[in-house]
Structure 1
Amino acid sequence: MQEIPLHLDFIALLTLLGLFLGFFASYFLIKKSWKSNLPNLFMGLFILCISLTMLEGWLDYTGYIFKVLWLSNFSEPINFLIGGLLYLFIDTQIEPEIKKKYWLHFIPSIVWLGICMFYFLQPDVVKYNDTIEVMQLNIPRANETPPFSDNPFRIRKHTSLLIGIYFTFYILIIGRKILLKANSIGESIFTTTNKTLKIVRNISYHVSVIIIIFILVKIFFKNDVGDYFIHLYASFLIFITAMNIMNQSNYYNEVSTFLELPSLKYKKSSLDELEKKSIHEKIISLMENEKYFLSSTVSLSGLSKEIKESSHHVSQVINEKLNQSFFEMLASYRIEEAKTILKTDLGKKLTIEDVAERVGYNSKSAFNTAFKKITSQTPSAFRDS
């Protein structure tokens, strides 16, 4: 097999940056949302799948794929998972209740993985020849006969067409779900003021653009030669998503040591497990029995004084026992109280600003942001439902 020169340029470097941001963002979205926030979990998985397909595209574009031929076409089955994850993200945004048929959307990817196994099990020389053909390289092929057919069902030659049909199907059912939601609240998706609808509508716009780019690339470029156009646009979307995650982070609401490593934060703590348990019980008692969180002037130092413990130890116990920051814990109690109020007859008569004030928020926007983050609904939508 001939040595293939590497191809590194501005497009390759930009895509590589998008890859790093994609893996970084997906890791934290999945880690922070596991079993607690389905929309963010599906979005994290969606970004991870996008990043993996971009990785294969980057390997092909730069020529590095010839150094790791065992990875050739590894993202093919993942392509048949992206649409389903996008639908699940939008579905759980619009209708947060848990459903039991989410697994159905993973079937196309699993089926395609089975089809691709005949190719994945081929020796590297077969993948070498295939990559040369796909990338339209003017290089002699290696003389090698496959030990068995890499496409016994004769279906993989229609991969691009099937991916196009797959994404079109999901765009249609996503569009239908958005329209039904808009009609149910009497708004137009183009002029809606509903935050959830605006989010899913804008995401659908971007995915539609990707599908259009995909179609144009397949029309004007043979095989996978022009896929870098798709990866560049996907990199742009990942940059925007990463910026939104950083802008909405609780990091800015807390005093943190510069470059402090989370794993070393409490390494030198003098607290033992019995002391942690005691502090934990004091915090829970103050929050649940005295509803300390209802005050708009609540602070970590104030809470620490109330239970006669140091702020550092209280913060440590909240982080380790509740797996939350102080502000996340505070928001969770306040939003639960708000949900209780909104379900009552009085709550139906109060304005959202009044409810926000009753649970300790000084502004409606901060209350709406916290409520939507925890429940995936606005307070008004929760009350109406």
Structure 2
Amino acid sequence: MQTLPIHLDVFALVILLGVAQGLFLSAFFLSGSRRRRVANRCLGWFMLSLSAISAEIFLNHTNYTFRALWTVDFAEPFNFLLGPLFYFFVFGRVNHRLPPRWGLHLLPSAIWLVNAVTWIYQPIEFKYNSYLDSMHPELPFVPMRPYMREDFTGLRHLVNEMTLLSCLIYAGLALLVIRRANRQQSMNRGALRLLSLLFAVVPLLIVLVKTQFKEDLGDYLLATYMAMTIYTASFLVMRGSSFFEPEPVPPASIPDEPAPERVVEPRKKYEKSALSGEVEDAVLTRLTGLLATEKPYLQSDLSLPRLAAQLHTSPHHLSQLLNNRLGQNFFDWLATHRITEAQNLLRDPATAHLKIDEIAERVGYNSPSAFHTAFKRLLHQTPAQFREAVAQPQPTPDRR
């Protein structure tokens, strides 16, 4: 069997870095407390699928496949995971759960995984010829006798068309979910929309590449674009992280007591501030509007600097406003709104069945223990006790 030397270029470097970054992101979202969120798990598996497909294209493009023939077409079943996993991620990010009958969306991938046995479990000569047919048709094929008939579905010659259709359908479904969420909840989901639009471009690239390049010779362009998508996701993760924002000073420890009796921070702290009453009124109006339309306190990574940026003011001025007008520091303000939202979810028959941890996640807490602590501190009872109390029928008044 004839081989060719390793071929490395800029495209190979970009693809390889994308594979590494995709593996890092998948490990990031599938580990620790992050994996408790269904959207994070779906995004982690989506990044893993992208990495697997890109890794195979990297091996083919650089001729490393000659030295690892067992990898020929190993990632093909992932083609039909990309669309459903991305749709699951968007749906889970908006609704905090998987879509109804989500398992049916994975059926094509499962069928293709079974079908993949017919070309994965084959002699090495079969895989060598398959690689030459896709990437180096100018080289001579070698004689071989397959172990079994390839492709029991008879559809493998349409894999590119089916992949294109799958990506197109699920990109459309993802954009539809975002549109409905924006319409019903008046929420700005720019990052989700950006990722969905990037994913929607994949079918267009498949059409352009496959019409311009015979066989798989242009797949390196698709892999380069997928690497750029992974880089974009990494940027959005870092931009959304509070790690890179200035840390606000944590509030002093306050013993458990009813909310109305909490000690209010003295106004003297801001006596020399340049924030006028008119400016306070304007910021307070923007804050009230933001609470009504976007409910920013449901964001798990919300911080004082981030909220201030949304209100077009400084963290110091926002802290002054919360203390002067609302009698709360930022952390107490955030906990109050989140726990109020949790009370609504526990009362609502449509969401009362959710687990306590799911309630915590929906109102913005990454840690269930932090949710329990805040709930008990503000209401002097645990979420389970509150749920039990609201579930009990109220006694009817005595009419005698």
Structure 1's unaligned 5+ residue stretches are 188-193, 256-285, 298-326, 346-369, 376-385
Q: What does residue 111 of structure 1 align with? A: 111
The counterpart of 2:209, out of the listed 201, 209, 217, is 217
User: Post-superposition shift, 1:64?
Assistant: 0.6
Match of 2:193 among 180, 194, 201: 201
- Take 1:133 and 1:209, find their aligned partners in 2: how far apart are those partners? 27
Deviation string 1:227-246 (CA, Å, 9 cap, x unpaired) is 11111111112122223333
Alpha-carbon contact 2:18-2:231 (below 8 Å) kept: yes
Instruction: Tell whether the 8 Å contact from 1:335 to 1:371 is kept in structure 2 after alignment.
Output: no
1:226 aligns with 2:225: no
8 A contact 1:40–1:89 mirrored in 2 = yes
Deviation of the 1:98 alpha carbon: 5.5
Q: Give the count of matched residue pairs.
A: 283
CA distance in 2, matches of 1:335, 1:104: 39
* 2: CA distance, partners of 1:71 / 1:332: 52
CA distance in 2, matches of 1:295, 1:245: 37
Cα gap change, 1:296/1:104 in structure 2, threshold over 3 Å: closer, same or farther? Answer: farther
**What is the aligned partner in structure 2 of residue 340 from structure 1?**
339
- Residue of structure 2 in register with 1:4 after alignment: 4
Distance change in 2, residues 1:66/1:336 (3 Å): farther
Q: Answer whether contact 1:33 1:40 (CA < 8 A) is retained.
A: no
Q: CA deviation at 1:173?
A: 2.3
- Is 2:171 the partner of 1:171? yes
Structure 2 CA distance for aligned equivalents of residues 224 and 296 of structure 1: 67
Q: Which moved more, 1:97-106 or 1:224-233?
A: 97-106
In structure 2, the partner of 1:383 is none
Q: Distance in 2 between matches of 1:136 and 1:296?
A: 75
Contact 1:80 1:166 (8 Å CA) reproduced = yes
Contact 1:39–1:92 (CA under 8 A) maintained in structure 2? yes
Given candidates 219, 236, 239, the residue that maps to 1:244 is 236
Unaligned runs of 5+ in 2: 248-252, 266-302, 304-329, 345-361, 368-400
CA 1:121/1:372 → structure 2, altered by over 3 Å: closer, same or farther? Answer: same
Mapped to 2, the partners of 1:116 and 1:76 lie a distance apart of: 8
Q: How far does the alpha carbon of each residue in 1:327-348 deviate from its partner, in whole angstroms, 9 at most, with x for none?
A: 9xxx999866432224679xxx
Give the direction of change, closer, same or farther, for the CA distance of 1:87–1:295 in structure 2 (3 Å limit). Answer: farther
The answer to whether structure 1 residue 132 and structure 2 residue 132 are counterparts is: yes
Distance 1:148 1:138, change over 3 A: same
The offset of 1:34, in angstroms, is 5.2
* Partner secondary structure for residue 31 of structure 2: helix
The amino acid of 2:4's aligned partner reads I
The answer to whether the Cα contact below 8 Å between 1:33 and 1:41 also exists between their aligned partners in 2 is no
In the TM superposition, residue 213 of structure 1 has moved relative to its aligned partner by 0.8
Task: Name 2:279's counterpart in structure 1.
Answer: none
* TM-score relative to the length of structure 1: 0.65
Aligned letter for 2:337? A
Query: Which one-letter code corresponds to 2:196 in the other structure?
Result: S
Cα distance in structure 2, aligned partners of 1:3 and 1:74: 20
Match of 1:235 among 224, 227, 231: 227
Report the residue type matching 2:234 in the other structure.
A
Matches within 5 A, 1:64-213: 64-97=64-97, 101-185=101-185, 194-196=187-189, 198-213=190-205
Larger Rg: 2
Q: Structure 2 length as normaliser, TM-score? A: 0.62
Q: 1:110 to 1:239 in 2, by over 3 A?
A: same
Quick one: percent identity of the two aligned structures? Answer: 26
Distance 1:296 1:58 in 2: 60
Question: What SS does the aligned partner of 1:119 have?
Answer: helix
The Cα shift of 1:195 comes to: 2.8
Rate the CA distance shift 1:344–1:24 in 2: closer, same or farther, 3 A.
closer
Residue of structure 1 in register with 2:313 after alignment:
none
Superposed counterparts of 1:190-339, under 5 Å: 194-196=187-189, 198-249=190-241, 251-252=243-244, 289=256, 337-339=336-338
